[in-house]
A = this chain, B = another copy of it.
Amino acid sequence: MNDRGGLVFVVSAPSGAGKSSVLRRVLAELSRLRFSVSHTTRRPRVDEEEGADYSFVSRERFEAMIRDDRFLEWAEVHGQLYGTSREEIARATADEVDLMLDVDVQGAAQVRRRMPSAITVFILPPSRAALDARLRGRGGQDDADIERRLGVAREEIERFREYDYVVVNERIEECVELVKSVIQAARCRTTRMRDAARGVIATF
């Protein structure tokens, strides 16, 4: 079967919607799915490993990669550059695995433009009250921080229509199941199953 791997899934969600927990479980429960490792210009934290958490590169190198159009998406956040390289997708295809990208609405829009075949999923919190409670539960943020994040969340949520799929994270088990379903269904699309079907036909 040569239809394996090379699918790109993009998942976005407002901060506090539980995306990281959902993706961790989806990645643990599905085979042939790899979390995309981003490039960044920021320094590694003590617990971060080069090539596993990020590819840590200099600003000069990152900017050269931008000029060479080597990013599927990139952004500057708090003065540091972050991006998903096209090589990451080529590597996944070569390894016959699919790729999961965790990017914000701007990053998802870039991916969609440069790779229309990418399959995009937006995770929604069940309500403002639920998001508020989750953001407060994290601690370390004052009311102004929370209000600002809720305002950003609202703006991001308005863009749900740009995505192929929408999943509400009311109960994490159900949300994980639905994200997994999107991935598994994409793998069963007829265009992806041609080699498998030809293999069956060849036995007749």
Contact = CB atoms under 8 A, between A and B. Distances in A.
A52 interface: no
Contact of A128 (B125, B165, B194, B203): B203
Nearest to A200: B124
Interface of A is mostly: helix
Contacts of A201: 154, 157-158
Interface residues of A, number: 40
A125 B180 CA distance: 24
Contact of A167 (B126, B157, B188): B188
Contacts of A168: 193, 196, 200
Given A181-B185, A184-B178, A197 B124 contact: yes
Identical copies in the complex: 2
Interface in A58-90: none
A190 B178 CA distance: 13
Nearest to A130: B203
A194 B166 CA distance: 9
Contacts of A128: 200, 203-204
Interface string A141-179: 000000000100110011011011111100000000110
A189 interface: yes
A57 interface: no
27 contacts: A121-B188, A124-B196, A124-B200, A126-B200, A127-B200, A128-B200, A128-B203, A128-B204, A129-B203, A150-B204, A153-B204, A154-B201, A157-B197, A157-B200, A160-B193, A160-B197, A161-B190, A161-B194, A165-B185, A165-B189, A166-B197, A168-B193, A168-B196, A177-B184, A181-B184, A184-B185, A185-B185
